Structure 1
Amino acid sequence: MTNPRIAVVSAGLGEPSSTKLLADRLRDATMTALTAHGQHAEPVDIVLRPLAQDIASHMLTHNPSEALDAAIKEVVDAEAIIAVTPTFNMSYSGLFKSFFDVIEEGQLASIPTALGATGGSARHSMVMDTAMRPMFSYLKAQVVPTGVFAASEDWGASGLDRRIAREGQELADLMVAMPRRREADPFDVEGDAFVSFEQMLGHA
């Protein structure tokens, strides 16, 4: 049996990126908490900055590049998601929103999800409740109670460390207690269970 995968999506625009740093720390906290449960996971980093042009093109043409298609597949097939965005005008970035916009409706349903955001000052911290939670609620993801916002002055502070550890623990607990339930595909029939159209007519 393979380890569950955690898709770690970061939408930072700079290099280096505080958004990617927060995503990495949330990933590490989740992995540590899973280890305490006696479980392991395989993290998959999905950095959106190199995919920006592919995302914009897909929104216009509905024809994803191979790289974007692979990134989307990693997210929708994951057992958990960590999603982190920079904050602009009290909301998520356009790149972050556009990536989740090109994922088909319903494909994130029931996935345990942890949210994070970065910004220049604490006055943007409401982004977690005013923008991110409503979006992922609409997408029917299972979002953990804690959300971590990291302002510039938070880095190196013990309070940020505690919030990261708490959210990582919550995501690990949710992965263990309520693993993602995948709905069976009604058209995915194997072996002798398959009934052809001719057979159905014969039984009519």
Structure 2
Amino acid sequence: MKPLKVVAVSAGLSQPSSTRLLADRLADAVRRRLAEEREVEVRVVELRDLATDIAKNLVTGFPGPALREAIEAVTEADGLIAVTPIFTASYSGLFKSFFDVIEDDKLIGKPVLIAATGGTARHSLALEHALRPMFVYLRSIVVPTSVYAASEDWGGGGDSRTDGLAVRIDRAAGELADLMVHRSPAAPAADEVVVPFAEQLAALRP
């Protein structure tokens, strides 16, 4: 059997980056979950290295070789991990711009784990009001558990209302691994049929 491909997209800007660290921990957790059943190939795409190519693509409509290769890795992955820093209560512009240059139908049915980092836990809902709706719009399959890591989460054990970061990572990784192993192959897109408006009205008449 072909190895399962896991691609983690990290939109961290600094180096070292807590966003990249979270992407690595999630990818490693998914690899561990899948290791007993399938061989796994993991790749991390660092968007900071592609920022210029992404900007040029937005202007010209054509990706450079490095960006094209990254897009192919994402669209051909069996499972996607998408991690962004949270800026002003939403995903970063670099993160959004990367997914803007991918054709809308390329992520249909793809299992996706969404995650984010930020300085304060107040931004954690950005996962649900920004990232999850974006991937739902792209018709991806987003796992139930999203993972947010605030500064105080690193090395913390959680509190009475939230599990620790390690627990959330493990749960989300398990959900992504299950989807990757058990999902049915996506059906080819059917050609869209345009029904004339007059026919649509006629069908409504008794």
User: 2:154 maps to what in 1?
Assistant: 155
The alpha-carbon distance between structure 1 residues 138 and 184, as it changes in their structure 2 partners (threshold 3 A), is: closer
Cα deviation 1:122-180 (Å, max 9, x = unaligned): 00000110000000000011110000000000001230000000000010011112154
Which of residues 176, 179, 182 in structure 2 aligns to 1:174?
179
CA contact (8 A) 1:79 1:179 kept: no
User: 2:33 maps to what in 1?
Assistant: 33
Deviation at 1:14, TM superposition (A): 0.3
In structure 2, runs of 5+ residues without a counterpart are 158-163, 192-206
Partner Cα separation in structure 1 for residue 173 and residue 97 of structure 2: 25
Partner Cα separation in structure 1 for residue 184 and residue 171 of structure 2: 19
Partner Cα separation in structure 2 for residue 15 and residue 180 of structure 1: 37
SS in structure 2 of the partner of residue 32 of structure 1: helix
CA contact (8 A) 1:144 1:170 kept: yes
User: 1:3 maps to what in 2?
Assistant: 3
Cα deviation 1:25-82 (Å, max 9, x = unaligned): 000111111124x222111111100100100010000111100000001011111100
Write the letter of the residue equivalent to 1:145.
Answer: P
Paired residues for 1:32-181 under 5 Å: 32-36=32-36, 38-158=37-157, 159-181=164-186
Q: CA RMSD in A?
A: 1.4
Partner Cα separation in structure 1 for residue 189 and residue 152 of structure 2: 47
SS in structure 2 of the partner of residue 107 of structure 1: helix
User: 2:194 maps to what in 1?
Assistant: none
Seq. identity, %: 52
Partner Cα separation in structure 1 for residue 184 and residue 152 of structure 2: 35
Write the letter of the residue equivalent to 2:34.
Answer: L
Partner Cα separation in structure 2 for residue 142 and residue 49 of structure 1: 26
Write the letter of the residue equivalent to 2:137.
Answer: Y
In structure 1, runs of 5+ residues without a counterpart are 187-204
CA contact (8 A) 2:4 2:38 kept: no
Deviation at 1:2, TM superposition (A): 2.0
Deviation at 1:105, TM superposition (A): 1.2
SS in structure 2 of the partner of residue 176 of structure 1: helix
Using structure 1 for the length normalisation, give the TM-score: 0.87
Write the letter of the residue equivalent to 1:153.
Answer: E
